[in-house]
C-alpha cells in the first residue's frame, strides 16, 4: 500500500506560488526599436493610391464602398541602403545575426 501512495504523490501536479512565478517570468516585454522606411507623401499621391486600391478591391462587387484609413510611402533609397548594409554584414560575419535599428540620410 505504501508503494502506491508514494507513486500517487509523485505524479501529482506541483502547485507553484503565483507571486514567485510572476517574479521569474515578467509579463512586460520591452519593444525593440525598428528602422523606419516611411516617407511623407503628397495629397495627390494619397488620392491616386486610394482610387487604385479601391478599384482593385471592388473588382467583383460594383456596389460596394471602401474607405482607405492610412497610406504610407516607402523610401526606396533607405530600403536599398538597408539591403546593401545587410549583404555586407552577412558576408563579413556569416554566422552572426544583425538587427537594423535606425537608418538616417546624411546631407
| pLDDT tens column, 85-99 | 888 888 888 888 878
Q: What angle do CA 78, 36, 55 make, to 5 degrees?
A: 85
For residue 53, give the nearest of 70, 37, 75 by alpha carbon: 70
pLDDT in tens, 33-68: 677 888 889 999 999 998 888 888 887 777 777 778
Give the three-state DSSP class for 26.
coil
Task: Render pLDDT for 69-85 as a digit per residue (tens, 0 to 9).
Answer: 888 898 888 889 888 98
DSSP per-residue letters across 40-65: ---HHHHHHHHHHHHHHHTTS-TT--
Amino acid at each position: 500500500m505504501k508503494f502506491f501512495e508514494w507513486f500517487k504523490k509523485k505524479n501529482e501536479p506541483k502547485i507553484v506560488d503565483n507571486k514567485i512565478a510572476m517574479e521569474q517570468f515578467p509579463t512586460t516585454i520591452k519593444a525593440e526599436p525598428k528602422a523606419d522606411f516611411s516617407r511623407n507623401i503628397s495629397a495627390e499621391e494619397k488620392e491616386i493610391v486610394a482610387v487604385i486600391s479601391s478599384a482593385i478591391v471592388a473588382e467583383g462587387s460594383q456596389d460596394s464602398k471602401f474607405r482607405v484609413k492610412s497610406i504610407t510611402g516607402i523610401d526606396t533609397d533607405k530600403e536599398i541602403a538597408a539591403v546593401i548594409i545587410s549583404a555586407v554584414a552577412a558576408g563579413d560575419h556569416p554566422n552572426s545575426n544583425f538587427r537594423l535599428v535606425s537608418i538616417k540620410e546624411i546631407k
